[in-house]
Amino acid sequence: MTETCVPSARQGGERSAVISSDVGFRSERGPILIALMVTTGLVAIDATILATAVPSIVGDLGGFTLFPWLFSIYLLAQAVSVPVYAKLSDTVGRKPIILIGIGLFLLGSVLCGLAWSMPALIAFRAIQGLGAGAVQPMAITIAGDIYTVAERARTQGYLASVWAVSSVVGPTLGGVFSEFVSWRWIFFVNIPLCLLAAWMIARRLHESIEKTRHRVDYAGATLLTVALSLLILAILQGGQAWAWDSPISIGAFTLGGVLLAVFLVVERRAAEPVLPLWVFSRRLILSTVLVSIGVGAVLTGLTSFVPTYLEGSAHVNALVSGLALAALTIGWPISASLSGRLYLRVGFRTTVLVGMVFAVAGSLVLALTAATPSVATVAVACFVVGLGLGLVATPSLIAAQASVDWNERGVVTGTNMFARSVGSAVGVAVFGAVANGIFASSAGGENDPSTVAEASGAVFIAVAIAAIVTVAAALAMPRDRPELQAQSVD
């Protein structure tokens, strides 16, 4: 049996000397790649399996008005915990953090399966979200540790393929469990997956970490968590659970903004800040963070409104609308796995720009054809957008990772993933406000197919605008530095 070693903080390199150049599953690093795919599958399946089981859950536990919190609390816990986990991984290593994440996800899954009421289920979903906040960014960071820049696009393609498979497997399992067994099994099914992922990571991944004393930034971590929780919660629930101009909305935004300002002051003085401010002073990292925000907005705009558009205007069932949307998650891993060949030839910046052209084109097709609903047109447009996002998300993240050493890579990866969550949250709020405005001004409302088409068309225009703004962020990326090109052919 061979062991896979991750470069230590002292080494600061792209890979350790014991790692070969083979990227396949049978290579020395193959077991780690498989473990990362299994670990990613935990989050990917959970993201899609719950939606089809909501009617069964509400029928059993009640609390229909509370069920949106099953999704909001999970996203909130995941988003706010990512920066903290990312910093800790640069301090104590990736392995303990990802194992903690798997453990929290396992605990949350067991408790969710045993939940006796909707409030209890919501609380336990928060625990799951805290686990997911460690699992997803750590999987990507570990891949960045053990693979060179040239190899990384292919491995990210493997990880992206997990999401493509999960987009089909998740809803299917959710429907089967709800219909023939019990909705509780959508959580219990995570138990063997968590145990398998933890066993593989514990057995195969070995890190060499420099033993030094660290000063944990408790104040910064607390301020960041509370501030982000208030701000993201206000964005997610504004215009839905409460009005934008309500006291609770204004209070959440105000207090969150004040705490975030205090956090920035504290971080300037912290010996080891949980979110170093240098992240936002480096042009490459800042521009890729802005790109990631745009990716999150475009992605959530389509995943949130395409099914509603097709079901409300074309009168198709949920299965057909889901398959049309699945075209996006098919295009994404295809282009992500091939992006390495492109950025090795033309560079990261050009690759991202090419991807954004695809994303803008697909979004414009949706906007221009919204008045004449067609499942085929939507599926093709979503596939094109997926191709584009695959050429954007993976290369921009790899460029940011390649620009820093081991002891900064966790923070950079975590910041990138957090930015996508912020983009998704803001996108949900903005696109929802656009659609609700049209529904409110129409006599037919949500039950009128023409109104649904009009509202969806407005949302797709907003998505296209978000994609165009993201092009500007991509243009701000610096041209590839010579040292990145050197790493690409290492």
DSSP string computed for 2-27: --EEEPPTTT-SSS-TT--S--STTS
How would you class 436 by CB atoms within 10 Å of its CB: exposed for 0-12, middle for 13-18, buried for 19 or more?
middle
Q: How far apart, in whole angstroms, are the C-alpha atoms of residue 290 and residue 359?
A: 16
> Which homologous superfamily is 1-214 in?
MFS general substrate transporter like domains (1.20.1250.20)
**CA dist 155 to 15, 336, 396, 421, Å?**
14, 9, 15, 22
Task: Report, at the CATH architecture level, how domain 281-490 is classified.
Answer: Up-down Bundle (1.20)
pTM for the full predicted model: 0.79
Each domain of the chain, given as residue ranges in start order, spans 1-214, 217-271, 281-490
Residue 211's contacts (CB-CB under 8 Å, 6 or more residues apart) are none
User: In this structure, what token pair is assigned to residue 170?
Assistant: 């998740």
User: In this structure, what token pair is assigned to residue 117?
Assistant: 């009421």
DSSP single-letter state for residue 478 = P
- Region of 213 on the Ramachandran plot (φ > 0 left; ψ -120 to 50 alpha; else beta): beta
Q: Within 13 Å of residue 57, how many CA atoms lie on the same side as its CB?
A: 32
Interval 179-189: pLDDT, tens: 777 888 888 98
Among residues 319, 279, 338, 287, the alpha carbon closest in space to that of 154 is found at 338
Q: What string of pLDDT tens digits covers the 490 residues of the chain?
A: 334 444 444 344 443 333 345 555 556 677 888 888 888 888 888 876 776 677 778 788 887 667 767 877 887 788 888 888 888 887 788 889 999 999 999 999 999 999 998 889 989 998 998 998 888 888 888 887 888 777 776 777 777 778 777 766 777 777 777 777 788 888 898 899 899 989 988 887 877 666 566 666 778 878 888 888 888 788 777 776 777 788 888 998 999 899 989 988 888 887 777 777 787 788 899 999 999 999 988 988 887 788 878 888 888 776 677 778 778 878 887 888 788 788 888 889 999 999 999 999 999 999 999 888 888 999 999 999 999 998 998 889 888 888 888 778 888 888 888 888 888 878 877 887 788 788 777 766 667 788 888 888 999 999 999 999 999 999 999 886 544 444 443 3
User: In this structure, what token pair is assigned to residue 155?
Assistant: 């491995």
> Considering Cα of 249, then 254, then 260, then 262, what sign does the dihedral take?
negative
Q: How far apart, in whole angstroms, are the C-alpha atoms of residue 209 and residue 52?
A: 43
On whether the CB atoms of residues 309 and 456 are closer than 8 A, the answer is yes
Long-range contacts made by residues 285-289, C-beta under 8 angstroms, separation at least 24?
285/400, 285/403, 285/404, 285/412, 285/415, 286/476, 287/473, 287/474, 287/476, 287/477, 287/478, 288/396, 288/397, 288/399, 288/400, 288/416, 288/477, 289/400, 289/415, 289/416, 289/419
How would you class 165 by CB atoms within 10 Å of its CB: exposed for 0-12, middle for 13-18, buried for 19 or more?
middle
**CA dist 194 to 88, 112, 342, 395, 414, Å?**
21, 15, 35, 29, 22
Tally of residues, the chain = 490
DSSP single-letter state for residue 490 = -
Interval 242-256: pLDDT, tens: 777 888 889 989 998
Q: What is the pLDDT of residue 9?
A: 41
**CA dist 143 to 121, 124, 237, Å?**
33, 29, 35
Interval 83-112: pLDDT, tens: 888 888 877 888 899 999 999 999 999 999
Domain 1-214 and domain 281-490, same fold? Reply is yes
Among residues 168, 69, 156, the alpha carbon closest in space to that of 121 is found at 69
Provide the 10 A C-beta neighbour count for residue 240: 15
How would you class 435 by CB atoms within 10 Å of its CB: exposed for 0-12, middle for 13-18, buried for 19 or more?
buried
Among residues 386, 251, 287, the alpha carbon closest in space to that of 332 is found at 386
On whether the CB atoms of residues 391 and 345 are closer than 8 A, the answer is no
User: In this structure, what token pair is assigned to residue 320?
Assistant: 């057909």
R_g over Cα of the chain: 22
Q: Within 13 Å of residue 180, how many CA atoms lie on the same side as its CB?
A: 6
Q: How far apart, in whole angstroms, are the C-alpha atoms of residue 95 and residue 83?
A: 16
Among residues 120, 220, 167, the alpha carbon closest in space to that of 383 is found at 167
Q: How far apart, in whole angstroms, are the C-alpha atoms of residue 239 and residue 246?
A: 9
